[in-house]
Chains A and B, each alone.
Chain A
């Protein structure tokens, strides 16, 4: 279990960054990948499965309205450019984060929504975790429900993806833990009351009972970082997108579940 090494994380990070490629085998083989859904109680699984009871679908409905709403700038609504979401957006969320040529960096789905607002609608980006941004993102992601996560085969993403993996495997915070210790090595075991999931990003934005609301993947990652007593990254920070990129690679080909429900 070399990942649990006591080597100081900067040294470990540096070693990985310098080596350029990630030689290590995939910690969880594709056939062994499991959504956190599998570990939930039957009651919460039923809540997610049943569109009548899934509270995330309220936000998706809000997102559908925002999709067709004309912005105050007089420019087209989202639907004005993209048309029928069920066809034009099918599969999009399954391949995010993706490279954005204009910004010359990887962006996640929330960034994509805001980029469209800025560039095509001439309006302000929405704040992270605002109900409107979550609703629009959930609406977009729901169009890929059931499709396998399929990260783009794009070399420009490699450095960020490697950075994400290094972050995932580095010990950090006052407790000296890493994401990999819990989610690669100890998933399925009990951390107090919680059964540790593999940490798959399949359901976001999702409705978490503990939040009593919808939240993004970055919000979830902040929770884990705070639990490790590490400094969370700022919303939208490149390091968060790098982690999201690695998580997507690590999750493929699990299906998109948005809007999922979690305890």
Chain B
């Protein structure tokens, strides 16, 4: 069953057919996966990289630095569970970054990175967090805009 589900996801991703989260929460916007990316902005507009940086650095909002390190000299104690975010904007296009934030399981069903804009497959979600994605569409776009500016590898 596991394999079939994974295959279906992959196939859909490859065909560029995978669509909206299966149980859209209030006001969640549908999106279209093409290849390994989501080409269109979730809000129809570009995000704000300054706001995006603040969300990524905020451990209770973005949670990113719990797992990732990145070019944030002012942030102590960054995680080492995931690839360094430095240079990710050179490695990936904004459209690729968007899919990795929205639902990385489309590319790696075993990923430990939370799907920030999908409610599919979640169980026993705490009451305070039910029915909504981890981040809103605008926040995702802000983060995409910020990650796209990270063009230098860390040394």
Q: Mark A165-196, 1 if CB is under 8 A from B, else 0.
A: 00000111111110001000010011111000
Instruction: Count A-B pairs with CB separation below 8 Å.
Output: 97
Interface with A: B33-41, B119-127, B136-144, B146-154, which one? B119-127
Q: A6-B105, A174-B125, A191-B67 are in contact. List 9 more A-B contacts (CB 8 A).
A: A6-B5, A7-B1, A172-B124, A176-B121, A190-B79, A192-B79, A193-B76, A230-B125, A231-B125
User: A172's contact among B65, B109, B123, by CB below 8 Å, is which?
Assistant: B123
Q: Is the CB of A7 within 8 A of B2?
A: yes
Which B residues touch A226, using CB under 8 A?
Answer: 126
Which A residues from 1 to 31 make CB contacts under 8 A with B?
Answer: 1-2, 4-12, 15
Q: How many Å lie between the Cα of A186 and that of B81 in the bound state?
A: 7
Q: Is B93 an interface residue (CB 8 A)?
A: no
Interface with A: B13-21, B47-55, B84-92, B110-118, which one? B110-118
By a beta-carbon cutoff of 8 Å, the part of chain A in contact with chain B is 1-2, 4-12, 15, 170-177, 181, 186, 189-193, 225-226, 229-232
Contacts A190-B79, A230-B124 given; does A176 touch B114 at CB 8 Å: yes
The interface on chain B, measured as residues whose beta carbon lies within 8 A of the other chain's beta carbons, has a size of 33
Which B residues touch A177, using CB under 8 A?
Answer: 112, 114
User: B114's contact among A6, A11, A172, A174, by CB below 8 Å, is which?
Assistant: A174
Query: Which single residue of chain B is at the shortest CB-CB distance from A232?
Result: B126
Q: Is the CB of A6 within 8 A of B125?
A: no
Q: How many Å lie between the Cα of A5 and that of B78 in the bound state?
A: 26
Contacts A174-B129, A175-B134, A229-B129 given; does A4 touch B111 at CB 8 Å: yes
A227, chain B: closest CB distance, angstroms: 9
Q: How many Å lie between the Cα of A2 and that of B6 in the bound state?
A: 12
A140, chain B: closest CB distance, angstroms: 32
A228, chain B: closest CB distance, angstroms: 8
Query: Which single residue of chain B is at the shortest CB-CB distance from A170?
Result: B123
Query: Which single residue of chain B is at the shortest CB-CB distance from A6?
Result: B109
Q: How many Å lie between the Cα of A6 and that of B111 in the bound state?
A: 8
B28, chain A: closest CB distance, angstroms: 14
Q: Is the CB of A174 within 8 A of B134?
A: yes
Q: Is the CB of B1 within 8 A of A1?
A: no
User: A192's contact among B6, B9, B77, by CB below 8 Å, is which?
Assistant: B77
Of the candidates B1, B78, B126, B128, the one having the most CB atoms from chain A within 10 angstroms of its own CB is: B126
Q: Is B66 an interface residue (CB 8 A)?
A: yes
Q: How many Å lie between the Cα of A11 and that of B120 in the bound state?
A: 13
Q: Is the CB of A175 within 8 A of B114?
A: yes
Q: How many Å lie between the Cα of A157 and that of B38 in the bound state?
A: 49
Which B residues touch A15, using CB under 8 A?
Answer: 1
Q: Which 8 A-B pairs have the closest CB atoms?
A: A6-B109, A193-B77, A4-B110, A174-B129, A172-B124, A192-B66, A7-B2, A175-B114
A176, chain B: closest CB distance, angstroms: 6
Q: How many Å lie between the Cα of A173 and that of B119 in the bound state?
A: 10
Contacts A6-B9, A190-B80 given; does A230 touch B105 at CB 8 Å: no
A4, chain B: closest CB distance, angstroms: 4
